Structure 1
Amino acid sequence: MSCTVAIPNSPATRIPVTNSLLCKSASFSSSSPSRKSSESLTLTKFPSFTFSSLSSSSQLKILLIEKSSPETISLNRNSSECSTSAPISTSPTVSKRKRPARLDIPVVSTNFGNFPRTPTAAADFVEVEGNEYSVCCKRGRRGAMEDRYSALVNLQGDSKQGIFGVFDGHGGPKAAEFAAEHLNKNIMDELVRRNDEDVVEALRNGYLKTDTEFLSEEFRGGSCCVTALIRNGDLVVSNAGDCRAVVSRGGIAEALTSDHKPSRKDEKDRIESSGGYVDCSNGVWRIQGSLAVSRGIGDRYLKQWVIAEPETRVVELNPELEFLVLASDGLWDKVSNQEVVDAARPLCCTGISKPQPLLASKKLIDLAVSQGSVDDICVMIIQLQQFW
Structure 2
Amino acid sequence: MACTVAAGGTSKASFNSIMAQDLFMAEAICSSASSSSSSSPSSLNFCKNRGASTARVCPKRKRPLRIAIPALQPLDLEQESDAGVDAIELECQRFSAFCKRGRTRKEMEDRCKASIGVPRNPHLAFFGVYDGHGGAAAAEFAAENLGKHVMAEVGKTTEEEERGRFENAVATGYLRTDDEFLKSQGEGGTCCVTAVISDDDLIVSNAGDCRAVICRNGEAQALTSDHRPARPDERARIESLGGFLSYCGGTMRLQGSVAVSRGIGDRHVKPWLTAEPETTVVKLRPDSEFLILASDGLWDNVSNQEAVDMARPSCVDSDGKVSLLGACKNLADLAVSRGSNDDVSVMIIKLRDFYCKVNNA
Give identity over the alignment, percent. 55
Corresponding residue for 2:96? 134
Deviation of the 1:123 alpha carbon = 1.0
CA RMSD in angstroms comes to 1.9
Deviations 1:282-319 (A, max 9, x none): 43110111110000001111111000000000010012
The letter for the 2-side match of 1:161 is L
- Using structure 1 for the length normalisation, give the TM-score: 0.67
Deviation of the 1:155 alpha carbon = 2.7
Q: Map 1:277-296 to 2 at 5 A.
A: 277-296=244-263
Larger Rg: 2
Corresponding residue for 1:169? 132
Query: In structure 2, the residue corresponding to 1:331 is in which secondary structure?
Result: helix
Corresponding residue for 2:318? 352
Q: Do the aligned residues in 1 keep the contact of 2:205 with 2:279 (CA within 8 Å)? A: yes
The letter for the 2-side match of 1:162 is A
Deviation of the 1:321 alpha carbon = 1.1
For residues 148 and 123 of structure 2, the distance between their equivalents in structure 1, rounded to whole angstroms, comes to 18
Q: Map 1:25-174 to 2 at 5 A.
A: 123-140=85-102, 141-156=104-119, 159-174=122-137
Deviations 1:40-97 (A, max 9, x none): xxxxxxxxxxxxxxxxxxxxxxxxxxxxxxxxxxxxxxxxxxxxxxxxxxxxxxxxxx
Deviation of the 1:352 alpha carbon = 2.7
For residues 361 and 375 of structure 1, the distance between their equivalents in structure 2, rounded to whole angstroms, comes to 16
Corresponding residue for 1:328? 295
Deviation of the 1:353 alpha carbon = 3.9
The letter for the 2-side match of 1:255 is A
Deviation of the 1:142 alpha carbon = 2.1
Query: In structure 2, the residue corresponding to 1:186 is in which secondary structure?
Result: helix
Corresponding residue for 1:221? 188
Q: Map 1:190-229 to 2 at 5 A.
A: 190-195=153-158, 197=161, 198-229=165-196
Query: In structure 2, the residue corresponding to 1:312 is in which secondary structure?
Result: strand
CA change 1:110–1:127 in 2 (3 A) is farther
Deviations 1:233-286 (A, max 9, x none): 011000000111001111111000000010101001111111111122343110
For residues 296 and 255 of structure 2, the distance between their equivalents in structure 1, rounded to whole angstroms, comes to 21
Deviation of the 1:109 alpha carbon = 8.8
For residues 387 and 240 of structure 1, the distance between their equivalents in structure 2, rounded to whole angstroms, comes to 25
Q: Do the aligned residues in 1 keep the contact of 2:82 with 2:106 (CA within 8 Å)? A: no
The letter for the 2-side match of 1:193 is K
CA change 1:234–1:262 in 2 (3 A) is same
| Structure 2 portions without partners, runs of 5+ | 1-79, 356-361
Deviations 1:2-43 (A, max 9, x none): xxxxxxxxxxxxxxxxxxxxxxxxxxxxxxxxxxxxxxxxxx
Deviation of the 1:191 alpha carbon = 2.3
The letter for the 2-side match of 1:131 is Q
Query: In structure 1, the residue corresponding to 2:89 is in which secondary structure?
Result: strand
- Answer 1 or 2: higher relative contact order, Cα 8 Å, separation at least 6: 2
The letter for the 2-side match of 1:168 is D
Corresponding residue for 2:275? 308
1:371 aligns with 2:338: yes
Deviations 1:164-223 (A, max 9, x none): 000011111111000000001011221233446411110010000000010100111111
| Structure 1 portions without partners, runs of 5+ | 1-107, 112-121
Q: Do the aligned residues in 1 keep the contact of 2:82 with 2:107 (CA within 8 Å)? A: no
For residues 352 and 203 of structure 1, the distance between their equivalents in structure 2, rounded to whole angstroms, comes to 33
For residues 269 and 246 of structure 1, the distance between their equivalents in structure 2, rounded to whole angstroms, comes to 26
Query: In structure 1, the residue corresponding to 2:114 is in which secondary structure?
Result: strand
Q: Do the aligned residues in 2 keep the contact of 1:179 with 1:210 (CA within 8 Å)? A: yes
Between structures 1 and 2, the one with greater strand share: 1
Deviations 1:119-165 (A, max 9, x none): xxx61122221122101111002221100011000233655431000
For residues 165 and 298 of structure 1, the distance between their equivalents in structure 2, rounded to whole angstroms, comes to 16
Query: In structure 2, the residue corresponding to 1:248 is in which secondary structure?
Result: strand
Query: In structure 1, the residue corresponding to 2:191 is in which secondary structure?
Result: strand
Query: In structure 2, the residue corresponding to 1:291 is in which secondary structure?
Result: coil
1:249 aligns with 2:216: yes
